[in-house]
Amino acid sequence: MDFLPLFFNLKSRQVLLIGGGDIALRKARLLKRAGVYLTVVSHTVDDELKALLVNANDQIVIGEYHAALLEGKALVVAATDDKDLHERVHYDAVALNIPVNVVDTPSLCTFIFPAIVDRSPIVIGISSGGESPVLARLLRARLETLIPNGYSRLGSLVGRFRQQVKATFGSVNERRRFWEHVLEGQVAEKVFSGRNEEAEALLKAAIDKGENSHQIGEVYLVGAGPGDPELLTFKALRLMQQADVVFYDNLVSAEVLDLCRRDADLIYVGKKRDDHAVPQEGINALLVQHAQQGKRVVRLKGGDPFIFGRGGEELETLKSHGIPFQVVPGITAASACSTYAGIPLTHRGYAQSVKFVTGQLKNRKDKLNFSELVHPNQTVVFYMGLHTLPTLAESLVEHGKPADTPVAIVSKGTSPDQKVLTGTLADIAAKQEDAKLVAPALIIVGEVVALQDQLAWFGDNVEQEGLTHALGMLKTEK
């Protein structure tokens, strides 16, 4: 280990910064965030750098650096393009045992600035020892996305109650178990979702009751997206990795499911056409039952839980039993599958609106308002309509939609097995009869489908015949 990671408390300490340009400005911003009193030495000083020096103990010295400026300083940073000056600063600081940093010159540094993830009071430093600062910044960017800003509020909340917990729980192990329970439970989740007052009330109650008191669990209704695990939100992934039990649907891909916490109980409650592993009422009861046992429950649904996902019904049951819950949106299939198929749902030249419609008719054809689905300059996306495709196509034509309107079927969208079949309202049912694309599948109806042969970038097209001609005709008509 070339550098020992340390955290300096520099609040109200004097720091010397040599340089007045852009690099010095970046260092000054970081130092001022740490609460230092800053002395800047340079022949010229950037206006933004001057604006940072608002404290009466800050100062600017216009002119040359000299060793006497090091007196009383806790730290020194050299940020110029003068190599000889940098060497002088280094040797002067080392002689006085003052930590020194010389930008972009690790050999002249007794300390280095890491790439920082700041969730104060939680701070993470990442260093390559000066060997690869770009790699350190890339790793910081990765961590920035994985660690919510709520950790800052959570750290502050914990700090305010640390002494109270120490007084309540006598042993180190008791305190450790208590904080683990708090930091992985509802208190943390309420902080992350911005409900700080509720989080503080829960923490106070937990301290008063003691560690072993029973607490009700929480249910997280999580949208798993259309299948590609890289389309998960960061919040979805975080909750999946801390769940005690996961109830998952048929449309949740194996790749997404594999990202759940390894020791969580995974319970399949999926529904296929005419085949429900667990009735909806049973799913509702299971969510309540496990939450009442104090467990963190993830209800993992394909796509978005509030778009044809019956998420609202499950939340109504949870609400009636006093079970706390959160909802994490997912990328709905219409958006993801159309994008992966190269079909923009809206386009200035073809469609200015889009409708999402369920294709599960079940002898209720009259329940669909087809007159609302045949307007021009509109895209219609049918979910779960593969088995009623002939009826859907015929009904749209009967209600006035042109028979040559482009149609696409996207099967297993966003997965490596994605296939796209294109045609028109007149022939798509016959083409599907031959192609036999499988569910899950979406049906996209509208002129935007004609763009697919130009914009397709992922998966396989079953056939493209006639699409280029159709696009040309549409452009001519425009």
Give 165's DSSP letter.
H
> Which domain-ending residue is among 299, 331, 363?
331
281-327 pLDDT, tens digit per residue, is: 999 999 999 999 988 899 999 999 999 989 999 999 999 999 999 99
**Is residue 209 domain-shared with residue 226, that is, in the same domain?**
no
What is the predicted pLDDT for the residue at 103?
94
Active site residue 271: yes
Instruction: Report whether 43 belongs to an annotated binding site.
Output: yes
**Is residue 310 domain-shared with residue 409, that is, in the same domain?**
no
Instruction: Report whether 47 belongs to an annotated binding site.
Output: no
Active site residue 46: no
Instruction: Report whether 263 belongs to an annotated binding site.
Output: no
**Among residues 249, 401, 419, 453, which one is catalytic?**
249
Read off the pLDDT band of 468 (50, 70, 90). Answer: very low
50: domain CATH number? 3.40.50.720
> Which domain-ending residue is among 307, 331, 355?
331
**Is residue 57 domain-shared with residue 169, that is, in the same domain?**
no
Torsion angle of the four alpha carbons 338, 341, 346, 351, in this order, in degrees rounded to the nearest 10:
-110
**Is residue 312 domain-shared with residue 394, that is, in the same domain?**
no
CB 211 within 8 A of CB 185: no
**Is residue 109 domain-shared with residue 21, that is, in the same domain?**
yes
**Among residues 50, 235, 271, 355, which one is catalytic?**
271
In order, the DSSP letters of 25-94 are: HHHHHHHHHTT-EEEEEESS--HHHHHH--STT-EEEES---GGGGTT-SEEEE-SS-HHHHHHHHHHHH
Instruction: Report whether 387 belongs to an annotated binding site.
Output: no
What phi, psi does 163 have (nearest 5°)? -70, -35
In a domain, residue 133? The reply is no
**Is residue 254 domain-shared with residue 189, that is, in the same domain?**
no
Adjacent-strand bridge partners of 354: 379
Instruction: Report whether 124 belongs to an annotated binding site.
Output: no
DSSP-derived 3-state class of residue 196: helix
What phi, psi does 91 have (nearest 5°)? -70, -35
**Is residue 457 domain-shared with residue 361, that is, in the same domain?**
yes
Q: Across the chain, which distance is largest between two alpha carbons, in Å?
A: 91
In a domain, residue 118? The reply is no
Instruction: Report whether 333 belongs to an annotated binding site.
Output: yes
What is the predicted pLDDT for the residue at 206?
87
Output the average pLDDT for the chain.
90
Q: How many CB atoms lie within 10 A of CB 234?
A: 12
2-46 pLDDT, tens digit per residue, is: 888 889 999 999 999 999 999 999 999 999 999 999 999 999 999
Provide the edge-to-edge strand list for the sheet that holds 353-358: 353-358, 378-383, 441-445, 406-411, 419-424, 460-463
Of 65-74, 192-201, 270-279, 416-425, the poorest mean pLDDT is in: 270-279
In a domain, residue 142? The reply is no
Q: Give the pTM.
A: 0.69
Instruction: Report whether 130 belongs to an annotated binding site.
Output: no
Please give the tally of structural domains in the chain: 4
**Is residue 104 domain-shared with residue 166, that is, in the same domain?**
no
> Please, is 47 exposed, middle or buried when counting C-beta atoms within 10 Å of its C-beta (0-12, 13-18, 19+)?
exposed
In a domain, residue 120? The reply is no
**Is residue 178 domain-shared with residue 309, that is, in the same domain?**
no
389: domain CATH number? 3.30.950.10
User: CA end-to-end span of the chain, whole Å?
Assistant: 67
CB 438 within 8 A of CB 455: no
Domain of 87 in residue numbering reads as: 14-113
**Is residue 92 domain-shared with residue 28, that is, in the same domain?**
yes
